[in-house]
Amino acid sequence: MSASGDESGVLTVIPLTGGAGEGGPPSLTGGAGKAPPPAPPPAMGSRVRGATLVLVLLIVGGTTSLLLLLLPPTTNGTPRGPRDFYSHAVTDIRGRRVELEAFRGSVSLVVNVASECGYTQAHYAALQKLYRELGPTHFKVLAFPCNQFGAQEPGSNADVEAFARHTQGASFPLFAKSLVLGVNAEPALRFLYDALGQEPRWNFWKFLVDAEGRPVGAWGPDTPVEELRPHIVGLVRDVILKRRSEEL
């Protein structure tokens, strides 16, 4: 406000702005002169909804992280790890790593062999005959020596190879002595057992695998190799026809 005097000497008070309102302080902006009331605190319902949203986000984020940990690792979006029998790697009779992928496209008869079993002579002879007649391009015999049944494969890998090659005349692939039962069983063999729901109970258990690495069937040592011939011939025929159609 400002003060001025008139001719009578009486001091007159002049408001700086108009519209202060009755009994109210003058307003510097020409408003009503009253300060706006403070904003009310957020309602309890809003706070609850906000806390619930945060909790949901935390749960979703944690669940997503857990699922990512449980999913199989991927490479460029493709899951790693064994998808079929041919996705495994094993060790051959001379200690070299072998990717079974090299046998994809061929039908395979996987057998746990032994050198001192009552089934040895007949099975080795029949397996070699089948391999000679149907292999090696479209059909393989894959032999895994094992000493878990009656301790009938006691020798070293070198002993097993000498016996199979020189005594039995086997020319099919031989792999290192392996465990075929228990938690430490060869993973490639374990894959077959889990897929078919059947484990070997003795030497010379035979597992037939198609050209894509899918287990087809299993037979024990009491089933002669020759009885498997129709199954094997049918799968081999499919392989040959497929290759011919792809060449056209």
Is CATH 1.20.210.10 what the domain over 85-247 is classified as, yes or no? no
Residue 203 confidence class, pLDDT cut points 50, 70, 90: very high
Average pLDDT rounded to a whole number, residues 169-175: 98
Res. 174: pLDDT tops 60: yes
Active-site positions read: 117
Q: 120 with 210: CB under 8 angstroms?
A: no
Predicted pLDDT of residue 93: 98
Predicted pLDDT of residue 193: 95
In total, the chain counts a number of residues equal to: 248
Q: What percent of the chain has pLDDT over 90?
A: 65
Beta strand pairing call for 2-5 and 11-14: antiparallel
Residue 57 confidence class, pLDDT cut points 50, 70, 90: low
Handedness of CA 104, 106, 110, 116 (dihedral sign): negative
Q: 162 with 116: CB under 8 angstroms?
A: no
Average pLDDT rounded to a whole number, residues 176-201: 96
Whole-structure pTM value: 0.68
Q: Which residues pair with 206 in a beta bridge?
A: 111, 219
Lowest mean pLDDT among 66-75, 86-95, 210-219: 66-75
Phi, psi angles (nearest 5°) of residue 63: -65, -40
Q: What is the CA radius of gyration of the chain?
A: 42
Predicted pLDDT of residue 247: 86
Predicted pLDDT of residue 248: 81
d(CA 112, CA 120): 11
Predicted pLDDT of residue 25: 44
Q: What is the dihedral of CA 59, 65, 66, 70, to 10 degrees?
A: 160
Buried b (16+ CB within 10 A) or exposed e, 203-230: bbbbbbbbbebebbebbebeeebeebee
Res. 86: pLDDT tops 90: yes
Per residue in 93-148, pLDDT tens?
A: 999 999 999 999 999 999 999 999 999 999 999 999 999 999 999 999 999 999 99
Lowest mean pLDDT among 56-60, 83-87, 213-217: 56-60
**Average pLDDT over the chain, rounded to an integer:** 81
Predicted pLDDT of residue 74: 44
Res. 185: pLDDT tops 50: yes
Q: Strand, coil or helix: what is 214?
A: coil
Per residue in 22-44, pLDDT tens?
A: 444 444 444 444 555 555 555 55
Residue 223 confidence class, pLDDT cut points 50, 70, 90: very high
Average pLDDT rounded to a whole number, residues 30-59: 54
Of the candidates 73, 75, 82, 90, the one whose C-alpha atom is nearest the C-alpha of residue 213 is: 82
Lookup: tokens for 113: 């062999």
